[in-house]
Amino acid sequence: MTGTGIGTKESPFTPGRPVPVEYFIARKQEIERLKRAMMQTAAGRNENIFITGERGIGKSSLAGLSRYLAEKEYGLLGVHCFLSGTKSLEDVTRTIFQRLLEECGDKSVFDKLKGIFGGYIKGVTLFGVGVEFTDDKSELRGLLDNFLPILRKIYEQVKENNKKGVIIVLDDLNGITELPEFSQFLKSFVDSIATSNNPLPLLLVLVGIPERRADLLKYQPSVARIFDIVELPLMSKDESREFFTNMFAKQMIDVDEKAISLMVELSGSYPMLMHEVGDAVFWQDTDSRIDIVDAKLGIMEAAKIVGRKYIGTQISSVFRSKVYSSILMQIGEKLPIGATFKRQELLKENAPEKEQKNLDNFLKKVKKLGIMGDAETRGEYKFVNPLYHLYMWYEAKNVKELKD
Ligand SMILES: Nc1ncnc2c1ncn2[C@@H]1O[C@H](COP(=O)(O)OP(=O)(O)OP(=O)(O)O)[C@@H](O)[C@H]1O
Ligand SMILES: [Mg+2]
């Protein structure tokens, strides 16, 4: 089948976006940990969790699923706030309250909650389910100073509608963790709940790469003991295999065993890359059967997309240098995708000092750019993920062809 039906084809893969709940896979242990916190919250306690892990590992997806489960299975009211553009504590509180109002689910509850905020609300959006808060600085300050009492009032209201508590997810913390006030705020907020006689069933989930947590600890070391950590590792090969098998099966697409193995291998068990690879291979397919050729073409396409998206700008500086390009070319040609290498293996016997220096500078540079890193064995290097390797090989080949 060629070309026909292309307009109706829809990819189930979501590269670059948190996965929809129905396509979520694996992470059993982490989900159990979060469920325990939800159970404690529904029983009246305050629980605080920090979901962490490297970029693209699946933090927002897990947070999204948690919120879904908290609402569905534990009767909590949930909001997932993305704070990337948020630069002040006032903005954080405004975003949280705004989302709580939007998500409370019921017009009568909404009206009651709106009553709590009274003058702070400037307007109601069309259809009456969204709100616009004041942008007056001193009024916003009032919201911030009364954050806990307001949250309590909100809980008292939603309790009447059988909610057992509240889950607030704060995601994309990059703008806000740089503010020392944010750590202080978290600490005094959690301490106030703990020392009051009046418990608040609140599950607070922070989401961020380890550097964001380190930011918080820098300004307020006690944050370390406030938040339990849920750290996401790479997926296993079996999980990755299950992922590709299920995703294509749901679309009624057959996949050859060899094609699956190649996709598993080359996406290196990174959820982010699994979606990029799956999506690119999906669009290669024209006959509802994916063979090794579709897989290879798709993976090459994914490597280009991933390379340009994540390391494209940094890497152009490497290619501008003739010396570095040729080292890369050597690595690309010699090294099987996914393999590690020793510095010594790239040097000819008795290589002049200059060549050694070039190689060392090169390694330093690509490590700093996040393209290569140390392998598990000391003294060995590897590409951060197999697709970067493939992309570099492809680019190095192009550069060489242009020069030849
Ligand atoms: N459990 C999962 N099942 C299926 N796909 C997943 C899972 N977790 C993550 N993904 C996919 O992996 C990619 C990265 O996920 P997500 O955006 O959740 O990561 P993240 O850690 O929040 O990334 P960032 O650090 O960039 O915010 C997305 O394409 C998402 O759809
Ligand atoms: Mg995220």
Instruction: Identify whether the C-beta of residue 253 lies closer than 8 Å to the C-beta of residue 290.
Output: yes
- Distance from residue 392's CA to the centre of ligand 1 (Å): 24
**φ/ψ of residue 63, rounded to 5:** -65, -40
List Cβ neighbours of 197 (8 Å cut-off, separation of 6 or more). none
Residue 226 and residue 243 in one domain: no
Report the DSSP beta bridge partners of residue 290.
255
Q: Residues lining ligand 1, judged by CB closer than 6 Å?
A: 14-19, 23-27, 53, 55-61, 209, 271-272, 275
Residue 218 and residue 247 in one domain: no
Q: Tell me how far apart the terminal alpha carbons of the chain are, to the nearest angstrom.
A: 39
Instruction: Identify whether the C-beta of residue 203 lies closer than 8 Å to the C-beta of residue 49.
Output: yes
Domain boundary among the residues 209, 231, 253 is at 231
Residue 123 and residue 259 in one domain: no
Nearest CA residue ID for atom 4, ligand 1: 24
Residue 220 and residue 304 in one domain: no
Is there a domain that residue 117 lies in?
yes
Domain boundary among the residues 231, 253, 285 is at 231
Nearest CA residue ID for atom 31, ligand 1: 19
Is there a domain that residue 22 lies in?
no
Q: Pairing mode, if any, of strands 121-124 and 131-133?
A: antiparallel
Is there a domain that residue 13 lies in?
no
Q: Which atom of ligand 1 is nearest to the CA of 26?
A: 1
Q: How many domains does the chain have?
A: 2
Domain boundary among the residues 231, 261, 291 is at 231
Residue 86's nearest CA partner among 203, 221, 211, 181 is: 181
Is there a domain that residue 174 lies in?
yes
Residue 241's nearest CA partner among 278, 279, 288 is: 278
Domain limits for position 286: 237-403
Is there a domain that residue 85 lies in?
yes
**φ/ψ of residue 113, rounded to 5:** -65, -40
Is there a domain that residue 75 lies in?
yes
Residue 333 and residue 216 in one domain: no
Residue 264 and residue 333 in one domain: yes
Residue 95 and residue 215 in one domain: yes
- Distance from residue 239's CA to the centre of ligand 1 (Å): 14
- Distance from residue 264's CA to the centre of ligand 1 (Å): 16
CATH number for the domain that contains residue 102? 3.40.50.300
Is there a domain that residue 325 lies in?
yes
Residue 226 and residue 242 in one domain: no
Residue 388 and residue 251 in one domain: yes
Residue 94 and residue 162 in one domain: yes
Q: Give the separation between CA 277 and CA 289, rounded to whole angstroms.
A: 16
Q: Is the dihedral of CA 77, 80, 86, 88 positive or negative?
A: positive
Per-residue pLDDT 10s for the chain (404 aa) are 444 445 578 999 999 999 999 999 999 999 999 999 999 999 999 999 999 999 999 999 999 999 999 999 999 999 999 999 899 999 999 999 999 998 887 788 888 888 888 888 887 776 666 788 888 889 899 999 999 999 999 999 999 999 999 999 999 999 899 999 999 999 999 999 999 989 999 999 999 999 999 999 999 999 999 999 999 999 999 999 999 999 999 999 999 999 999 999 999 999 999 999 999 999 999 999 999 999 999 999 999 999 999 888 888 888 788 888 888 878 877 788 888 999 888 888 888 999 999 999 999 999 998 889 999 888 899 999 999 999 988 887 776 676 66
Residue 222 and residue 264 in one domain: no
Token pair of 241 as six digits: 């295999």
List Cβ neighbours of 251 (8 Å cut-off, separation of 6 or more). 12, 282
- Looking at the CA of 52, which ligand is closest? 1
Tell me the three state secondary structure of residue 197: coil
Residue 35 and residue 130 in one domain: yes
- Distance from residue 161's CA to the centre of ligand 2 (Å): 31
Instruction: List C-alpha distances in Å: 6 to 11, 15, 251, 287.
Output: 11, 20, 14, 11
Is there a domain that residue 2 lies in?
no
Reported in sequence order, the residue ranges of 282-354 that DSSP labels E, i.e. its strands, are 289-290, 341-342
**φ/ψ of residue 77, rounded to 5:** -90, 130
